[in-house]
Structure 1
């Protein structure tokens, strides 16, 4: 495990996250395969890295298709600022080949324009083994603890989108 000083020198991984709303203002969450194998019931909103030369807007639509098998959505809002989270020390050397201390994320709210049957978790590199639509306020309580503050900020920023179409 890297020392706290070594961790502090590592950069944050540039990333996007998506709060995907359906027509009933419920939020998409997927259960992570890696935590389900360990017997945990950890859910999260889709997120992923920004490729070189890619804008955050391009990345969020690509990541959505890669993680849930569809890009049938429109971007309706973007977070005002980048949000950061740090990995717990014991994960720093294991995740992303030890190159990052955590993630800096640009979050987007998207309105899902497809049907539930358009969602297909059997993607080329599956990340989720189950999915569900949940109430916005319930999302932070479903995620791994070190991401909860970030998720609370996302919920707070996008809460006013509920009820708008």
Structure 2
């Protein structure tokens, strides 16, 4: 993978937007209240697989969304460092000595004008998220965990031309019935 910085685990993230240019964020099951854009760490990109195709596949598996298209990507790898407690945990889990993660980010837009496809418990993958919502880019940055916030700022800055006018946020959606 060209340009991948050494010592960072490679994976990718998706900034999914709706027709109002709001950003999809979800709250992880294991970290309640920590909202994030979809990003995949383990098994995200298989050997020889194009990152764009992996992003489309994982978005479908994790959220149920099939009606979306890639409209932009961050041209380089963006990195963040793990805080010491997270670093110790993930290095035990993943093996190796990772400083943090390097991610390729894709901007995807829903091609259907509703969110009826979104299903966090669709059975294609282990459920990682408890609930989801549409948020403004500012809210995405504000609600991110501290160590990911600079990366999210860079993602929003890169995709800003596509996100103008996205100041309305919607109510939270949950998979809890």
How high is the TM-score relative to the length of structure 1?
0.85
Look up the SS of the partner of 1:138 in the other structure: helix
Q: Is contact 2:66-2:117 (8 Å) kept?
A: no
Aligned to 2:118: 119
Query: Are the counterparts in 1 of residues 12 and 39 from structure 2 also a CA contact under 8 Å?
Result: yes
With normalisation by structure 2, the TM-score equals: 0.80
The 2-side partners of 1:79 and 1:141 are apart by 20
CA contact (8 A) 2:81 2:101 kept: yes
Q: Which runs of 5+ in 1 are unaligned?
A: 1-9
Q: Is the 8 A contact 1:92 1:98 kept in 2?
A: no
Does 2:59 correspond to 1:64?
yes
Counting matched residue pairs gives 151
1:158 partner SS: helix
Please state how far the C-alpha of 1:59 moved relative to its aligned partner.
1.4
Q: Residue 91 of structure 1 aligns with which residue?
A: 86
Question: Quick one: distance in 1 between partners of 2:86 and 2:162?
Answer: 34
Deviations 1:124-153 (A, max 9, x none): 311111000011122111111100000000
Query: What is the root-mean-square deviation in Å for CA atoms of aligned residues?
Result: 1.7
Shift of 1:86: 0.9
Q: What is the Cα deviation at residue 71 of structure 1? A: 2.6
Structure 2, unpaired ranges of 5+: 1-5, 166-177
Q: Following TM superposition, by how much is the alpha carbon of 1:163 offset from its aligned partner in structure 2, in angstroms?
A: 5.2
Q: What does residue 31 of structure 1 align with?
A: 27
